[in-house]
């Protein structure tokens, strides 16, 4: 991850938008992503009828409102365009309402992010960094997108995302296209798979403009089970 807590606010050239602008905009314009996407994504499903859409949105909203805690294992797979190699990492994550998140990679490296209210703690290879989420726009946005994806609350963010909904036998699939230039420079699309029965999120895909793709698959997910506050303290 990126940690420039000392200078983000001092140097306007290093704002979140600035960091992403040029490369991602050029990537979007290059047209590679639209060509690659159909070959990379999971089954896309068929578009949801307008009459069903409100039901899906309400179901997702209701599930998000009822969610107090989440704990889950995850497998993350980064696929790089034009390289057959994948980077696979595994870990666990814990969420506790309102703003506590523990996102921990255990394989093939050890990397831990804890977000507790306005503080971010990162432990990388034994080294610990702590800073305010307000001082780091990148983390603030990443936090909002990741948490919003897991909880499904990103759907109500119509200011920053346009979404389309699809369905398969097992899932509701929501494709979120960022409207804000700042996000669009780093992500061309976020695709979230919700379980058709309980509206829990079981799969996320983050698609970059050049066609690189990060898939996060959640397993062993537990909702509203006790999660102790000690999970959000650095060991």
Strand, coil or helix: 12: helix
Q: Nearest 5°: phi and psi at 102?
A: -125, 120
Query: Closest CB to another protein among 103 and 163?
Result: 103
List the Cα angle 54/203/213 in 5-degree steps.
Answer: 115
Distance, in Å, from the CA atom of 181 to the CA atom of 19, rounded to the nearest integer, reads 11
**Interface with another protein includes 41 (CB under 8 A)?**
no
Pick 21 or 44: Cβ nearer another protein: 21
- Please select the residue that binds another protein; options are 12, 38, 108, 226, rule is CB under 8 A: 108
Tell me: does residue 6 bind another protein (CB under 8 A): yes
Q: Contacting another protein (CB under 8 A), which of 12, 13, 126, 197?
A: 13
Contacts of 218 (CB under 8 A, 6+ apart): 72, 73, 74, 150, 201, 202, 203, 204
Instruction: Tell me the closest approach of the beta carbon of residue 114 to another protein, in angstroms.
Output: 14
Q: What are phi and psi of 232, to 5 degrees?
A: -105, 25
Q: How far apart are CA 234 and CA 184, in angstroms?
A: 32
Site string for another protein, 114-153 (x = CB under 8 A): ----------xx---x------------x---x-------
Nearer to another protein, 152 or 209 (CB): 209
Which of residues 124 and 195 has its CB atom nearest to another protein in the complex? Answer: 124
Return the residues of window 203-222 that contact another protein according to CB under 8 A.
206, 208, 210, 212, 214
Q: In what order do the strands lie in the sheet with 171-178?
A: 46-47, 161-167, 171-178, 189-195, 201-207, 213-223, 69-79, 86-96, 100-107, 111-116, 119-124, 127-132
| Contact residues for another protein, defined by CB under 8 A | 1-4, 6-7, 13-14, 18-24, 27, 76, 78, 80, 82-83, 85, 87, 89, 103, 105, 108-109, 111, 124-125, 129, 142, 146, 185-186, 206, 208, 210, 212, 214
């Amino acid at each position: 991850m990126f940690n420039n807590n000392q200078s983000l606010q001092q140097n306007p050239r290093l704002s979140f938008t600035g960091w992403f602008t040029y490369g991602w905009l050029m990537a979007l314009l290059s047209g590679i992503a639209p060509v690659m996407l159909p070959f990379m994504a999971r089954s896309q499903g068929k578009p949801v009828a307008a009459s069903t859409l409100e039901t899906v949105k309400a179901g997702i909203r209701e599930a998000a409102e009822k969610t107090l805690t989440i704990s889950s294992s995850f497998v993350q797979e980064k696929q790089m365009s034009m390289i057959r190699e994948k980077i696979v990492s595994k870990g666990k994550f814990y969420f506790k309402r309102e703003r506590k998140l523990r996102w921990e990679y255990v394989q093939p490296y050890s990397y831990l992010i804890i977000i507790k209210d306005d503080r971010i703690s990162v432990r990388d290879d034994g080294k610990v960094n702590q800073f305010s989420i307000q001082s780091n726009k990148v983390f603030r946005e990443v936090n909002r997108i990741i948490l919003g994806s897991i909880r499904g609350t990103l759907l109500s963010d119509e200011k920053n995302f346009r979404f389309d909904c699809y369905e398969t036998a097992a899932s509701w699939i929501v494709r979120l296209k960022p409207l804000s230039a700042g996000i669009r420079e780093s992500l061309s699309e976020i695709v979230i798979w919700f379980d058709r029965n309980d509206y829990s999120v079981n799969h996320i895909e983050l698609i970059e403009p050049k066609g690189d793709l990060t898939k996060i698959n959640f397993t062993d997910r537990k909702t509203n089970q006790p999660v102790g506050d000690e999970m959000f303290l650095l060991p």
